Amino acid sequence: MSYKVGVCQFKPELLNYKKNINTMKKMVENTSADLIVFPELATSGYLFSNQKEVNDIAEDFKNSETIRIFAELSKKNNCSYVVGLPEKDDGKIFNSSVLINPDGKYFTYRKTHLFYEEKLWFQPGNTGFNVFEAKNGIKVGLMICFDWMFPESARTLMLNGAQIIAHSANLVLPWCQQAMLTRSLENSVYSITANRTGKDIVNNKELFFTGQSQVVDTKGNILFRLDEVEESIKLVDIEPNISNNKDINEFNNLINDRITKYYK
């Protein structure tokens, strides 16, 4: 079964929720697809200066404007969305992503491996690497940005049955896009890395985000990769069931050939 997936690469404006959510809505409202992935912290921007501004823009998912807006879009367009955003729950703040489905259900992942100053603002995620059903029952695993550096993240999602890894990102290091070819190949899963573009500038600090959002197939081939600066939505047709085959040849299988006693 062909499945149309893609990324929405754009430049969130730091702490400007209204502008960001309107940009996000506009980019997808007339787009027909099965699964679209947005960047990490898409509603808020990234380079925070103090805890209060993170707390103020974080959303309680029990009463979240972003989830309400994307649940409506999801139903109208019959498309699943993955959105990265700051979450608050019971006084704790998480760097989260949420899968929102046409039936109104949503599922949350809280970033496990926090990068750099994120450790000042966010609690480490406590969800683990779970796999959820998106539109048409396709199994989607969620991870966020720096999780790429720990191969256990993608491996755990694969062992939990992911056919597609939805990877929301705000990448500043130059290596992830290439590394994700290996994450896809070694797990025989599709990966969708949705990165942001542009800069966040605050006082004398500046971070440049590397764009190049991409979709990679189960053999590590790049199906598309955007450039570093463009703000656009890009889609491609994939066959998620190909990821169910973990055979490398008639002797080798990615799951059965793991020698776990030596992995300690």
145 is catalytic: yes
Helix axes 17-28 and 65-77, enclosed angle (nearest 10)? 10
In the complex with ligand ACM, which residue's Cβ is closer, 68 or 199?
199
Q: Residue 169: how many CB atoms within 10 A of its CB?
A: 31
In this structure, the strands spanning 214-216 and 106-110 are unpaired
Least CB distance from residue 221 to ligand ACM, whole Å?
A: 25
User: From CA 121, how far away is CA 105, in angstroms rounded?
Assistant: 28
Catalytic: which of 79, 87, 139, 145? 145
In the complex with ligand ACM, which residue's Cβ is closer, 175 or 224?
175
Q: How far is CA 215 from the centre of its chain?
A: 12
| 3-state secondary structure (DSSP) of residue 213 | coil
Contact predicate 175/146, CB 8 Å: no
In the complex with ligand ACM, which residue's Cβ is closer, 69 or 143?
143
Least CB distance from residue 31 to ligand ACM, whole Å?
A: 25
Catalytic: which of 8, 11, 40, 234? 40
**DSSP 8-class letter at 125:** P
In the complex with ligand ACM, which residue's Cβ is closer, 40 or 217?
40
Q: Which residues bind ligand ACM (CB under 6 A)?
A: 40, 115, 145-146, 170-172
In the complex with ligand ACM, which residue's Cβ is closer, 64 or 195?
195
Least CB distance from residue 198 to ligand ACM, whole Å?
A: 14
Least CB distance from residue 195 to ligand ACM, whole Å?
A: 9
79 is catalytic: no
Residue of 17, 90, 18 whose CA lies nearest to 53: 17
Q: Residue 259: how many CB atoms within 10 A of its CB?
A: 6
Least CB distance from residue 115 to ligand ACM, whole Å?
A: 3
**DSSP 8-class letter at 49:** -
Least CB distance from residue 104 to ligand ACM, whole Å?
A: 29
User: From CA 121, how far away is CA 111, in angstroms rounded?
Assistant: 12
Residue of 44, 40, 5, 3 whose CA lies nearest to 167: 40
111 is catalytic: yes
- Both tokens of 264, joined, read 């300690």
Catalytic: which of 111, 135, 139, 234? 111
In the complex with ligand ACM, which residue's Cβ is closer, 165 or 172?
172
User: From CA 162, how far away is CA 213, in angstroms rounded?
Assistant: 20
Q: What are the catalytic residues?
A: 40, 111, 145
